[in-house]
Structures are given as C-alpha cells and as structure tokens.
A and B are shown apart, each in its own frame.
Chain A
Amino acid sequence: MSWLTFLLIAGGILAAGFAAAVLLLGRADRGALRVAAGAVLALAAVAVAFPVAKTSVRNINGVRLDNRGTPPDEAKEKCVVDGGAGHIVPLIERLRADLPAKARYQVIGPPPIDAACLTTNMLPRVSVQAAASSDWLVFTDGVPRGARARLVPGSLQRVTDKLAFGQVR
C-alpha cells in the first residue's frame, strides 16, 4: 500500500499547512495558506534531516569499518569471490604480476568467472578468443598435452594442480 502511504504523507503536510495557517496566522486565505504550507514543508525538512543524517552516518561508518585496510587488488577481486570463484584469486594475482601490460591471453578450459569480472581484474591485459592472436595461455583445468607444444619451453608456471599459465611461442 505504498501509494496510500505516499498520499497520506502529502495529505499530512497539506493538513499541517492548513492548520498552521488557521491557528498561527488566523486566516486561511491564499496568502496565509502559501506561507504556512511553505513554512511547514521547510520545518518538516529540518525535522527529517536530523534522524536521516544519523542513520546515514551509522551506515557509512559501517562501510568504513567493514573495508578498512582493504588493498586495491582485493577490492578488484571482490567480484571473483562473490561470483564463487575465490579459488582462482591466486592465479589472477600471478597473472597480474607476471604478464606484461597489454599482453593478450587465451583461457584454455572452463571459464572460472564471467568475462567482465576477469577483464576488470586483468586490464590492461585482455582476453582473446583466437589462439593465433594470443601471447599467453591460461589454463583453468589442467594443461592439455597438445597445449604444451605451443608454449615457450620452460615458461609454463603452475599455480595449483589445475591452474597454470605459459607464454606462447
């Protein structure tokens, strides 16, 4: 019944304005109604501002306490964790550390997280679909035998049993 609440609030302000005109100004003509309603609205805004501000301060202080000391990388990785792929955070951190800026990588294996979240975490390194245009291969479910032959010898780096990456020849 939010429409009723909406109308009741508006109606309450109007009633208060009318009452103020009659009781305080002693008349209910146009001028008195206008001034009284304006004054009621301004006073209501003042009255609303204080409790609203109190709640807002409490909420924003909660934001401050919850996130105090969060490093920038962790701030970016929130979508990875929230998306249920927290296990690949070590891989992302290694990729950010070891892949050069603007490197192009191809993900081999099931995507661990949606492309947008991965891209936000990896930029300026970008994901490509075509094997021919990639500089690096990122493995999310082990390293297939055929893929090893495409890598620069010795460049394969394992992060876990299934997560690894290497530079394309």
Chain B
Amino acid sequence: MSHLITTGRYAGLIAKGGNRSGVGGAALIPGMVITTGLGSMLHQVPLGRSFYVTKIMWFNPGVLATLDFGTLSNAAAPVPLFPTQTAFPGLEGGLTEEELVGVEFMLNSLAAPNGWDGNLYVVASIALITITVEVAEKA
C-alpha cells in the first residue's frame, strides 16, 4: 500500500488498484491496461468520490514511446495533468507517490471545453504498453 495512505497524509482515503483493464482500458474489471496508441482509461472515478494517483507502473515491449497521463475534457479531448513520460523500449518504468504531484481527479461537470470527466487516462504514442496504476479514493 502506498506511503501516502500509511502515513495518513491524506487521511480518509481508500487505496486500490485502477479499476480498468484490457486493451484501451475497456473491460469493467480491475487489472492491467494495454495501450492502443490512442487514449486508454486507467481508472474511472466512482460517483461521489475523487482520487489521487499514488503509483504508476508500465512496461514497453515496443519502440521508444511517450505516455501522457491525465483526464478527458467534456469535449472528449485528452487533458494531460502530469508531464510527458518517456517509455524506453524493452524497459519497465514507473512513478511513485513521491514523484507524482497531488492532482485530485474529480468530475467537473462544466460544459465543454471547461469541464472534465475526472477519470484517469493515458495517451500512449504506441500500442501494447502494459500499465497498472494505484489510486487513493476519497469519499
């Protein structure tokens, strides 16, 4: 479990794995997401909650690639919320709680383009990168 939870820095959070899996984050069961080269959902925020990302892990079996983690605007356009990450070919990579900034993912229902859906997405430059995330939800 994340250091963030155990130290109570954000007391009152539930740590859990991302709740999407499969190609593009399509499947409605928690697990590992496989990128498509377009946007893939990594975690969908439950109604009435928000969350922080506390850990991201990936493996890139392909060529040199980039990963942009963020959310989706209500106009369905990707909104990066962390700096672009490089995914080196044939290597695993990751971001821990200390490296990630405390962006709170939550629904913003303002009309497009100002609002966003609050879910965690990744836009990968290539397909077949496998990604898992850990989040801390707040009720």
**Do A and B come from the same complex?**
no
